[in-house]
Structure 1
């Protein structure tokens, strides 16, 4: 009997459905700008007007989830409370209503509302790279990833050392960011990491860090700070060499004076090397220079500085003349000067011997003439005078 009544009621509802037709419900949200974890209330209401409605059955759906069991129902309305979750962000929610005694074909659907849920990434960025050691001029790629970009989306930044990286190639794609660097000496030993930040979400997280290694050689030649050193005897003198950078691996320093290696008094600093020694008289005109050398699997660097001359002086500003000339003066020049001096001495000796022989010859000849004059008799002179007188007398007679 009861089964027959139910069938009859269903038949009446089917034939006279318009009498029990339910108006379309209207959906509202308590807020559409919720942060993950907060509650959202979705309310559906039907406005029957003057029509008296039968008992109603409500249905809820958000995205792919049927949520009817969590709703509270009144005579003409229903309210659904859900916890704001990132899975509902961007999803559409709606409700449906029908007379409780009717089938689903009599259901009326509400308007659709899209939910906006603010949420931050659940993790911190993870930084990875294929290699952190490269040769200068090569590219190195650093990559950071997150589980999500959040809502609103976070912004990526990169830092190497104390500074934010702006003038490099940065590629952002979904929850991944890449930093592509051309390796140079400035990046050597720099510590890099990425940062994900959203002020609206009060979220800021830094990734793990990586230290970069860039292999490179110094630019240019080592420079010596002075070309001439005027020092007093028995006083210390310090020569310094420097480079703008020591390279990686760092250069090894060597010192030479008159092209002979110096093993003592060398001290290396961050950007150079120094040589300290006590100036002796024998160091006068000594020429010293430094040498920077580095070798690796991709090449080598080996360069000398210019030379600095050490000059020893006595009291005042006068350079000592008794100090021997060392190898600071060219051996060829010294040999040429010595040869000229020897030649001058030989020529002077020849001249002296020649003049001495002339003087001896002249003295011998004068002595001989003198002896001959002494051996002549006095008549010789008288005869000459007599003859002359005779000639004069004969001329007078004529």
Structure 2
């Protein structure tokens, strides 16, 4: 071997070959790393498909979308698998996947008192979340850590929870006799099979328990008006109440009198008309007998006279109809007036024939009648009629508890066989 023949040119070739070999090895390593990265990406993609396992790793949620009622408890059913040879060190639920950070909800103050893990470290990962609110509407994930410090996120498999309240939907107003349909609405379709309960004015309508979320009121009555709310059987949450306004024509129309005691001529009297109607009646008419005498809910008479005695009624009207009240009698009391005496028979009277003086008066209540002969303080008779048997001037006096009045005197003269009436 001729070592003397080894030149610097040959040394450069060896170095270049070495560098080339190192470069080739580097390229091969880079390619292998890219292949591994691509394989991992493919693996993650497969794991993102719901319910699909990869190499024995899987998480499944059933159902994967839950609609729950506010303030209820929710069971989030979950199962998972992992390859043989691994041991589960930690299991937890999370709701954030940002930056590969998986906070444990059981350590979150908003969840720690309400979240209960019902599963195990084998294959069951079910939890119960109590007293849910709309803030709990979120996407949730189950995660676990193995003895090889592997945190399995299993792609984007997830469980979506939507929390809804209940709202009663009803027409603003209905007219008596119509049919009305009320609907108990939620923002999503409830996952659990629901039995609806209806309330009116906070009292349950026990006959209205149905899987249908609608309440049908056929031929609605005024008694059906009120504040309606709905709930689900075996749930504490009750929807906000909505008022159902039932409109109807006047009913139970009546008249009241003030003063309610005895009415005397000269008093001031007020008649009031009231009715049950919706909307409230604003149109009132007053009648004495069949004669219209006034309008308005109040009909006032100042210094009432006896001529205004009679039967009164009012008519109440709104846009749905009208109705009359029963008649009420206005009975005005007054003292005797227009008192007069008549004699029977008229004309020539023969001595010994019967002769009767009659007293008439207008009063309320009817007056008691007394007869007097002028210049005598004591009454000579009483009653509507008086038989005069001697000459003289006679008059009658009518009186009741409101006053008295006397008639003009009439003169009776008896001569011989005849008596003549002198005025």
Question: Which of the two has greater strand per residue?
Answer: 2
TM-score (structure 2 length as normaliser): 0.40
Look at both structures and tell me which one has the larger radius of gyration over its CA atoms.
1
TM-score (structure 1 length as normaliser): 0.42
